[in-house]
Structures are given as C-alpha cells and as structure tokens.
Structure 1
Amino acid sequence: MSQHPGEPHAGEMSGRLNRLRAGVLGANDGIVSTAGLVVGVAGASASTGAILTAGVAGLVAGAVSMALGEYVSVSSQRDTERALLAKERTELAEMPAQELDELTALYEAKGLSAATARLVAEELTAADAFAAHADVELRIDPEALANPWHAAGASAAAFTVGSLLPLIAILLPPAGARVPVTFVVVVLALALTGAVSARLGSAGVGRAMARLVGGGALAMAITYGIGQAVGVATG
C-alpha cells in the first residue's frame, strides 16, 4: 500500500506492523503444532529418539507448508497487482482524457472542491500520471510490490523459531518431567505471543492471551491423551 498525503511513512509503518504480526502468528503456529506433536508422542513413548524424530519431522513439514502457502498467496496477490497496473498503463495511453476525469472525481470524493480537484489531478498527471492513478485509484505502490520469496522465507523462519521452543523444552528435562515442563514453557510462550499480537493489533490483551493459552493447553491435553491411549493399546 502506498502512503497518502498528510501521512508520511504511514504505508511503510503499516507494512512493517503487518509483517511483524504475521511473524508472531507464524511463531505461534509453530509453538502449538510442535508442542501438540511432541507431547502426544511423549504420552505414547518415553523414547527420546522417537520424540526428537517426531518433533524435527513436524518442524520441517510445518515450515515447508507455511512457506509454500505464503509463497502461493503472495504470488497471487502480486500477479493481481501487476495485472491492475498493466491495465492502468493501457488506459492512460488509450484514454488520457477519461483518466484525467476519473482522477479528478477521485479527489472530489476525498473532499476537494471541483476546481481544486481538477487542478490537483492536472498537476499530478503532468508530473507522473501512472504514479498518481496507482496511488489514488489502485492504492498500490509499483515500487513496493510484495516479494513472495521474502514472505515464504519469513513465514518458514517464524514457524521454525516457534517450533524450537517446545522441542527443546521436551528434550532437556528428565523423562518424568518432560510433559509438565513443556506445558509450562508453552503456556508462557503463548501468553507472550498473545500479548504481542494483541498490542500490534490494538486489541484486548487479556482476551487474546486467554484464547491462545486456552487453545494451546487444550491441544496439548488432547494429543497427550491420544498418545497415552495409543501407547497403552500398542504396549
């Protein structure tokens, strides 16, 4: 998104906050999914090798899945934006007068008088018609289109960081303390990510923390119960 008059660096700041929020949510996904996986395996087996194998496999699979999903999503968005920009270039070349009228109308809709809107539209068109339409009409910055490779890498990295926390927490303690220690570590981590995501989104901190902590605790309880049931059935 491009910045608008009177809001210097607003678009850049918004983009940074969105990327940070996406990173926090990606880390949260890694925490919950890997915690549920390793706690479930720990419920079925005390084997460190089995827990490590399951945890690493879940980390890699999850990171790849997150990266692929983000790559496809951002690529589709980028293709759409490029198509809109190409269409706008064509219209400016073929219908300059109509495009000037359109730009004038857009500024009138923002609250400018007809005369002022026309003057602004004419001056911006003379300076860079394409940039003016991309900004006001499409709300796209042609020089700052999202990079799918960057998005995929950031998503995979965030998921990996989140996954490492429960994986380390369950491997370091003695066998008898693995699940309780992991549970505490994960709950604290989810409370932190909930607070950060709420702050970034200007939402209620308590409610966001309660949702994440409650959901993560429930996921671990369910997978641990399933793991114990499977362990007893196969033991």
Structure 2
Amino acid sequence: MPVQATTRLIVDTVDHGIAGKAQIVISDGRVRLTHSGMPRQEVLFISDNREVYFIRHARKELTRVDPAVLRQSIDQFSGIAQSLMAQRETLSEEKREQLDEMLKSLGIPDPDALAGGSIKLKHLGQRGDAAGIRCQWWQIRREERAIGRSCVADNNGLGIAPADFQTLTALAAYVQELQLSASALLSSMGFVLPPLGLADSSSLPIRLEKASGTFSATLTAVDRLDVSLRLMVPQGYRIIGLPGG
C-alpha cells in the first residue's frame, strides 16, 4: 500500500513590523498550524466535524472549539456587544474613550469590530505571485471600508493532493465564517483572524495584506512529505472552555 503523503506550506508573516514564519501541515483531513511567534502552541483543525483545538503545550492546556458551543458563545457575546455598542453611541467622547480602553484591556483592540458587518470582494484585475505561483488580487471590504487585499490561486497552481486542497478550503471557509461572526469573541481570547477574502470554494489565498499595513502573509514554499502524519489531540491536557460554553 503506498504511503499517504503529507502537505506542508510555509508562510512568511509580518505583524506590526515583526517578521515570523508559519507552518501549515495537512494530513488525512486535519490541519496543524504553528507559528514562530507562538512557540509551543498550535491550532488543530479537524475537517469532518469542523472542530478546532487551540493547544498550548507549555501549559498543557487546550481549548476545544465545538461548532455548536461556538454558536452559543457567539450569540451570547453578540447580545453583550450590541448592548455595549448602543451605550457607546450615546457616550461623550471622554466616556467613549474610557469604554474603548476597557475593551482593549479585555483583548478587543478594535471596538468597531463588535458591530460585525458583511465582507465584500472586488476583483482588482491584477496578477501577483508567491512561491512561484500566480494569483489574482481581490480587495476585501467591510461595509464601505477597504480592510485588505488577498491574492488567490486554485489547485492548478498549488499542485497539492486534491484531498489536502479540499481540507484547506474547508478550513479557509470556516475561518472566513468566524471572521464574520466571531472575530471580536476570538480576539478577546487572544486569537486574531485575518480577513481571507475568499472569492470561491476552489481557490485559496497565498498572499494577504491588511489595508492598514500592519499585517501581511506570503506563501514561500509548498512541500510534499512522503509520510502520513497523525495529527492528534494531546491527551491529559487541561481543557479551557469557551466563554458562554
């Protein structure tokens, strides 16, 4: 029986001027994400049930994000957010600044993100490339404001195993869904989701840039490893629940 290969993507990031490197490993319907800026931490995504695990090995703890529990947390958080935003609109500038500082101390750097809002894409008609792969640039807009741009490519360019590409597109779609509905909630937990700008289900971003210039990500390498890695949830770790879960 042939050995099932594993796909590995290397992504260079720049976050507020600090360079980093992310590694994305895809094997058997699972994705593991690690980043040099978060040593001994990883994110594990299981595509068949859309479960996500935020794993902190140094503390031997993990947060399991079950889609049903996440929806409950989002609904609860949204109610609080709507109440806060309604109050915020009636406050004086001084009081609003005090509220914003309080929200920042809770891990929500952009209070306007509490309001949510839809994301729209505009094809820019420009071509780019990353890791020698051609891509198409799309502008990402929230409401009437440009928040970033994304250069996307299909698997004709990436050339990875179809099953791994399908797993990655499932993850990307889930991230975009969370970016729309739960970015403020996850930000309060210390996890920031970039706007991906997915044009369709058959393409993936290989370059991302925030309009503010504070963040960028660029694919630099695509590897195929002739091993099948078992991306498992560690046993015996303390489980940290979601707010409202």
More contact order relative to length (CA 8 Å, sep ≥ 6): 1
Look at both structures and tell me which one has the larger radius of gyration over its CA atoms.
1
Q: TM-score, normalised by structure 1?
A: 0.25
Q: TM-score, normalised by structure 2?
A: 0.24
